[in-house]
A and B are shown apart, each in its own frame.
Chain A
Amino acid sequence: MTKVRSSLSQSTKLSPKRLRNIREKIIESFLFLAALSSVATTIAIVAILLVECLHFFQEVSLWDFLTDTQWTPLFENQHFGILPLVSGTLVTTGVALLVAIPLGTIIAIYLSEFAPSIVREAVKPLLELLAGVPTVVYGYFALLFVTPLLQIILPDLPYSNMLSAGIVMGIMIIPYISSLSEDAMRAVPNSLREGSYATGATRYQTALKVILPSAFSGISAAYILGISRAIGETMVVAIAAGGQPNLTLNPMEPAQTLTAYIVSVSLGDLPYGSLEYQTIFAVGLTLILMTLIFNIIGYYLTKRYREVY
C-alpha cells in the first residue's frame, strides 16, 4: 500500500517535468515541419514541371522541341521549336547585362573604395529602392518612356523591341550586382589595400589590380544573381519586348521571351490538361534549366577564383 502510494506521488511529482518535455518535443516537431516546407516546395516545383513535361514530350518529340525554328503552339499549323523563345530571352538578358555589369561594378568599386561614408549612406538606400519598384512599373517605363526616347536616336526602332526592355531590365538589376559586389570588396582585408598603397599604387590602381581580383569570387556570384534575375524577369519583356516569337539576335526587333510566352498563354483561358496548357510547363522547365546552367557555371567560377586569407 505505501509502496503504491509512493510510486503514485513520484509519478505526479515527475509529471510537470514530463509534460514540459512532451510540450517541447511537440513544438520542436512543428518547427521541423515548417522548415521542411521549403524542401517540399522545391520537390513540388520539380514534380509538377516534370509530370506536365512528361505528358508534353509524349506528344512532341524532344528533337523537334530543340531544333525546330518555329514556336506556334496556338496556331492551326503547330510547331514546337523552343529556339525562338530562347533567343528572345538570351538577347534581352544580354542587353541587360551589358548595362548592369559595367554600371553595377563601377558603382560597387566607387562605393567601396572611393565614396565618403556620407555618400555611401545616402546612395545605398536609393539604389535599394530601385530594386523595390514593381516590375510592371518598369515595363510601363520601358514602353512609354525609354522606347520613345530611343526612337529619337534610332528612328526605325519599332514600338515593341528588345533593346529598351533589355536596357530597363539592366538598370533594374544594377542594385543586385552593386550591393553584392560591394560587400565582396569590403570583405577584402585592409592589409591588402595598405600593402598596395605602400608600394606607391593609387586608389584607382589598388581597386582595379588588387581589390577586384581578390573579390572576384564574390563579384561573380553577384553577376550570376543578376543573370538569373534577367532570365526570369517577366513583366518588363511581356510589356515592352513584343508578343511574337522571333528567332533573331538583333535587339532592335520585337521578340517574345520564355517568360513572356507563359504570361501571354496564361492570360487566355486554356483547358486544363490540353497540349497548349502543357507548353507553359515545358517552357517553364526550359527556363529553370537555363538558370540552373548559369548557376552551375557561376558555382565553378566562384570556387575557381576563391581567395582565402
Chain B
Amino acid sequence: MVGSNISNIRNIITRNKRSEYIFGIVGLLAMLVGIITLFALIGDLIGDGLARLNWQFIISFPSSEPEEAGIFAAWVGTVSVMIVTAFAAIPLGIAAAIYLEEYAQKGWLSDLIEINVTNLAGVPSIIYGLLGLGIFVYGLKLDRSIASAGLTLALLILPVVIVATREALRAIPSNIREAAYACGASKWQMIWDHVLPYATGTILTGIIVALARAIGETAPLIVVGAVTFIASLPPSPITGEFPFISFQWLLDTFTVLPIQMFNWVDRPQEAFQVNAAAAGVVLIAMTLAMNAVAIYLRYRLRKNIKW
C-alpha cells in the first residue's frame, strides 16, 4: 500500500518535472521566434539592398530608371520634418508634463487631462493623419507642406513625450524640491534650476524613443499628402540676403524615407524593390541606432543615479 503510494508520488513528480522542462523549451522557442524574425528581417533587407547602397544612391533624386534613382529628397525631407516635429513636440510635451506633475491639483480637470493623454496614446496613427489633413492642410491652409507633416507627427508623439517626462519628474525625490524651497526658491526656480536638470537624461531618452517612432511613421504622412516624386530640395534655410534666414522651406512639398520606400515596394519591377530594400536599410539603421542609444542611456542612468 505504502509502496504503491510512493511510486505514485514519484510518477507525479517525474510528470511535473517533465512539463516544467517542456515549458522551458517552449518559452525559449517563443522568444526565438521574435528574435529570429528581427534578424531575418534585417538580414533580408541587407541581403536585398546592400548592393544598391552607395554614395550615388544617397545623393540622387528619384527617377523612373531604378538604377539612377536615389533617396536624396527623401532623407532631406525626413530631416526637415523631424526638425519641425522636435521643435513643436519637445517644448509642448515637457511643459504639459511639468504642469501635470508639479502644478496640477487633484480634481476633475487634471483627471480629464490624465485620461486623455492615456487614450491619445492608443489612437491609431492614421487617425492623426486625418487630423493633420483637417487642421493643418485645410484648416490653417498650410497645404501639403513640411510644416503640416511635422506638426502632425508632433501631435502623434506628444503623448509619448508627456508620459516619458512625467516618469522622469516623478523619479526625482521630493527632498530635492524641499531643499530648493528651503533656500527660498520659488516654484519655477525650483523646477528650472533643480528638478529639470536632474531629469534631463531620462527625458532625453524618452524624446529619442519618440523621435525614432516619428521617423518610421508612414501612414499619417501619406494622408497629410506626401509627394512621392520630388526632384528638388526645399529652399535653403540660410540665404545670401538680409535677414539671412528663410522659413520658406516650411511650406515646400515633402516626402520622407518610409514613403519613398513604400512607393518603391508598391511597384511591380524587381529593380525598384531592390531600391526599396536599400532605402529600408538606411531607415532601419536610423531607427535602430536611435533606439539603441535610448536603451543604452536608460541602462547607464539606472546604474549611475543613486539618490
* A residues neighboring B (CB under 8 Å): 20, 23-24, 27-28, 30-32, 34-39, 41-42, 44-45, 48-49, 52, 102-103, 106-107, 109-111, 114-115, 123, 125-130, 132-141, 143-145, 171, 174-175, 178, 202-205, 207, 225, 228, 231-235, 238-239, 259, 262-263, 266-267, 272, 280-281, 284, 287-288, 291, 295
Contact = CB atoms under 8 A, between A and B. Distances in A.
A233 B40 CA distance: 21
Contacts of A203: 20
B159 A38 contact: yes
A42 B119 contact: yes
A86 to B, nearest CB: 14
B262 A145 contact: no
B31 A238 contact: no
Nearest to B280: A137
Nearest to B39: A126
Nearest to B16: A202
A280 B126 CA distance: 11
A134 B153 CA distance: 14
Given A137-B280, A137-B284, A204-B16, A38 B124 contact: no
B41 A137 contact: yes
Given A137-B284, A204-B16, A205-B16, A38 B162 contact: yes
B80 to A, nearest CB: 18
A239 B273 contact: no
10 contacts: A24-B187, A133-B288, A134-B217, A202-B20, A228-B124, A233-B124, A239-B262, A266-B225, A291-B122, A291-B124
Contact of A35 (B96, B126, B188, B222): B96
B282 to A, nearest CB: 11
B182 interface: no
Nearest to B260: A136
Contact of A135 (B33, B129, B218, B266): B218
Contacts of B223: 262-263, 266, 280
A133 B287 contact: yes
B48 interface: yes
B41 A138 contact: yes
A38 B20 contact: no
Given A35-B113, A263-B219, A291-B122, A123 B31 contact: yes
Contacts of A263: 126, 219, 222-223
A231 B124 contact: yes
Interface residues of B, number: 87
Interface in B25-41: 26-28, 30-31, 33-35, 37-38, 40-41
Top 8 A-B residue pairs of the complex, sorted by shortest distance between their CB atoms = A232-B124, A134-B216, A110-B27, A34-B95, A234-B219, A48-B134, A31-B99, A132-B291
Name B's interface SS.
helix
B58 to A, nearest CB: 18
A35 B212 CA distance: 23
Contacts of A135: 216, 218-219
A259 B123 CA distance: 13
B35 A123 contact: yes
B134 A44 contact: yes
Contacts of A42: 116, 119-120
B216 A39 contact: no
A263 B129 CA distance: 10
B95 A126 contact: no
A246 to B, nearest CB: 19
B134 A37 contact: no
Interface string B116-144: 11011011111111110011001000000
Contacts of B212: 132
Interface in B171-192: 186-188
A34 B96 contact: yes
A204 B20 contact: yes
Contact of A262 (B126, B134, B262): B126
A127 B30 CA distance: 12
A31 B33 contact: no
Contact of B158 (A38, A126, A129, A233): A38
Contacts of A110: 23-24, 26-28, 30-31
A28 B96 CA distance: 10
A309 to B, nearest CB: 22
Given A44-B131, A139-B265, A144 B295 contact: no
A171 B35 CA distance: 10
Given A49-B130, A134-B283, A204-B23, A129 B28 contact: no
Contacts of B287: 132-134
Contacts of B30: 102-103, 106-107, 110
Interface string B32-55: 011101101100110010000000
Nearest to A104: B30
Interface string B47-75: 01000000000000000000000000000
B230 to A, nearest CB: 15
